[in-house]
Amino acid sequence: MKILVDHADINAIKKMYEYYPVDGVTTNPSILKKAGRNPFDVLSEIRAFIGSEAELHAQVISKDAQGMIKEAYKMREVLGENTFIKIPVIPEGLKAIKALAKEGVNITGTAIYNQMQGFLAGKAGAKYVAPYVNRIDNLGANGIQVAKDIHDMLKNAGLETEILAASFKNSQQVLELAKYGVGASTIAPDVIENLIKVDAARCAVDVFVKDFEALCGENKTMNNL
Ligand SMILES: O=P(O)(O)OC[C@H]1O[C@](O)(CO)[C@@H](O)[C@@H]1O
């Protein structure tokens, strides 16, 4: 499962890249709002840091297909071909996805709350579809199940579209979908950090260090024996 960083703050992104095996960055307009600067400046800064080969996902704002298509080409021009254009899976969005996918533009179908949105976006040619796991849970449905169903439906239909699971709020949600083998998850830095926040592991390390120091002397490591 690929892991993308769901954030627009360059320092938070740099930290994730330093410590974790991550594969790219996703943003949406609400995430960009938090950055509080010209979105193209923010996205260009992220692109410069992650490099031209890494995945960068950024969303269109227009509500009509023609406007979405125009935005998609502008974003691709400024941010490079490996930019995944996030298009909400509403009827106008599907129309735009069909047109853009035919031209080889990388699309992520977003704002997915049910199985058929995901399936139709895949059939229309999206490379990824992004079910909003936690937001679905908040509606009283089962976000994990929706993501698993879409994954199965795409595979059963022989489509290459992968899940980009989104809107995670806890480790359990990520774990469930990693076990299921979905293609990718986009996760905010605080949720990524919680994935391996295990006190028992930290205690185990402390005991190992104490034992080693008892054997070899204080502040000794393999480096200064
Ligand atoms: O519920 P949240 O945390 O706002 O998440 C919505 C999600 O949708 C996306 O826009 C889909 O890629 C992510 O950037 C974000 O994780």
Q: What is the 3-state secondary structure (H, E, C) of the chain?
A: CEEEEECCCHHHHHHHHHHCCCCEEECCHHHHHHHCCCHHHHHHHHHHHHCCCCEEEEECCCCCHHHHHHHHHHHHHHHCCCEEEEEECCHHHHHHHHHHHHCCCCEEEEEECCHHHHHHHHHCCCCEEEEEHHHHHHCCCCHHHHHHHHHHHHHHCCCCCEEEEECCCCHHHHHHHHHHCCCEEEECHHHHHHHCCCHHHHHHHHHHHHHHHHHHCCCCCHHHC
Tell me the C-alpha distance between 113 and 139, whole Å: 9
The answer to whether the beta carbons of residues 69 and 77 sit under 8 Å apart is: no
Q: How far is the CA of 156 from the centre of ligand 1 (A)?
A: 26
Q: How far is the CA of 132 from the centre of ligand 1 (A)?
A: 7
Residue 187 Cα: closest atom of ligand 1: 16
User: 42-67: per-residue pLDDT in tens?
Assistant: 999 999 999 999 999 999 999 999 99
Amino acid 79 reads: L
pLDDT of residue 130: 98
Which tokens belong to 40? 């193209």
pLDDT of residue 52: 96
Q: How far is the CA of 39 from the centre of ligand 1 (A)?
A: 17
Q: How far is the CA of 139 from the centre of ligand 1 (A)?
A: 15
Q: Which of 86, 127, 148, 169 is catalytic?
A: 86
First to last CA, the chain: 40
Low-confidence residues in the chain, pLDDT < 50 = none
Q: What residues contact 135, with CB distance under 8 A and at least 6 apart?
A: 113, 143, 167
Query: Taking CB atoms and a 6 Å cutoff, what residues make up the pocket around ligand 1?
Result: 6, 26, 28, 31, 57, 86, 110, 130, 132, 134-135, 166-167, 186
pLDDT of residue 150: 98
CATH of domain 2-194: 3.20.20.70
Which residue out of 132, 139, 185, 190 has the highest number of ligand 1 atoms within 8 Å of its CB and is therefore the one to mutate? 132
pLDDT of residue 94: 98
Tell me the C-alpha distance between 207 and 216, whole Å: 14
86 is catalytic: yes
Residue 108 Cα: closest atom of ligand 1: 12
- Atom 1 (ligand 1) nearest CA: 167
The answer to whether the beta carbons of residues 106 and 144 sit under 8 Å apart is: no
Which tokens belong to 193? 């950090």
